[in-house]
Amino acid sequence: MKTKILTILSNSDGYVSGQQLCEQLGVSRTAVWKVINRLKEEGYLIDSVSNKGYRLLSQPDVVTSEAILSKLQTNYMGRQVFSYDEVTSTNTVAKQLADEGKEEGTLIVSDKQIQGKGRRGRYWESPKGSGIFMTVILKPKMKPVYASMLTLVAALALNDAITDLTGLEAKIKWPNDVVVNKKKVAGILTELSAEVDYINYIVVGIGVNVSMKDFPEELKDKATSLLLESGKSIGRAQLIAKTMEYLECYYERFLKTHDLSELKETYSKVLINKDQVVRILTEDDSYTGVARGITDEGHLIVEKDNHDLVEVYSGEVSVRGLYSYT
Is the bond into 175 cis (omega within 30 degrees of 0)?
Answer: yes
- The b/e string for 67-77 (b: 16+ C-beta within 10 A; e otherwise) is bbbbbbebeeb
Q: CB of 150: closest distance to ligand ATP in angstroms?
A: 15
Residue 309, strand partner residues? 303
CB closer to ligand ATP, 26 vs 315: 315
Q: Is 181 annotated as a binding residue?
A: no
Q: CB of 239: closest distance to ligand ATP in angstroms?
A: 15
CB closer to ligand ATP, 38 vs 122: 122
CB closer to ligand ATP, 82 vs 124: 124
Residue with nearest beta carbon to ligand ATP: 118
Name, in order, each residue with C-beta under 8 angstroms of 262's C-beta and a sequence gap of 6 or more.
253, 254, 256
Cα dihedral 128, 167, 262, 102, rounded to 10, equals: 30
Residue 123, strand partner residues? 117
Binding-site ranges for ligand ATP (CB under 6 A): 118-119, 122-125, 176-177, 184, 187, 207, 209, 219, 223, 318
DSSP assignment letter at 67: H
- Select from 118, 176, 128 the least CA-distant residue to 313: 176
Q: CB of 121: closest distance to ligand ATP in angstroms?
A: 9
Q: Is 238 annotated as a binding residue?
A: no
Q: CB of 209: closest distance to ligand ATP in angstroms?
A: 5
**Element spanning 33, H or E:** helix 29-41
Cα dihedral 66, 72, 75, 79, rounded to 10, equals: -30
CB closer to ligand ATP, 72 vs 150: 150
DSSP assignment letter at 217: G
Q: Is 48 annotated as a binding residue?
A: no
CB closer to ligand ATP, 25 vs 219: 219
Q: Is 286 annotated as a binding residue?
A: no
Q: Is 113 annotated as a binding residue?
A: yes
Using DSSP bridges, classify how beta strands 318-321 and 277-281 pair: parallel, antiparallel or unpaired: antiparallel
CB closer to ligand ATP, 132 vs 247: 132
SS3 label, residue 246: helix
- Select from 310, 307, 289, 290 the least CA-distant residue to 299: 310
CB closer to ligand ATP, 105 vs 187: 187
**Which residues contribute to the annotated binding site?**
89-91, 113, 184
**Which residues contribute to the annotated binding site for biotin?**
89-91, 113, 184
